[in-house]
Amino acid sequence: NIENNNKLYGRIPSNNYDDCNFSGTHICYSKDNYNSNCTYPARYYDCTKCVKNASRKDDICQCSSELYYGIGYIECREKSSNGIEKFCLSVCLLFHLKCLIK
């Protein structure tokens, strides 16, 4: 289980789970894929309901990569010159992702 990880976000994989606990995270999911064997975050996040300055890409909301950063289904903040690269790098390292920072 991955519960109680407040910095975890993204889409729950479409797998059949016998038991899972996503509480205490910011993971998004579709109500169509709701699994009664799982515990979900207290707040429902729909991966496809984009906030201001975000759009859908690969069926999940993402902030405009040119001007904004954040989680596209929660909040997008305007990029500034103070620390956005550090923020992106820390997220990439946390999730073992390949980062391309301009």
Q: How many domains does the chain have?
A: 2
99 domain-assigned: no
Q: Which domain holds residue 15?
A: 1-47
Q: What is the pLDDT of residue 99?
A: 55
Q: 3-state DSSP call for residue 55?
A: strand
Residue 62's H or E segment, with its range, is strand 60-63
Residue 30 shares a structural domain with residue 62: no
102 pLDDT band, cuts 50/70/90, is very low
Are residues 1 and 43 part of one domain? yes
Q: Rounded mean pLDDT of 37-55? A: 93
| pLDDT of 52 | 94
- Tell me if 100 is assigned to some domain: no
Residue 60 in this model has a pLDDT that exceeds 70: yes
Bridge partners of 71? 75
Same domain for 36 and 60: no
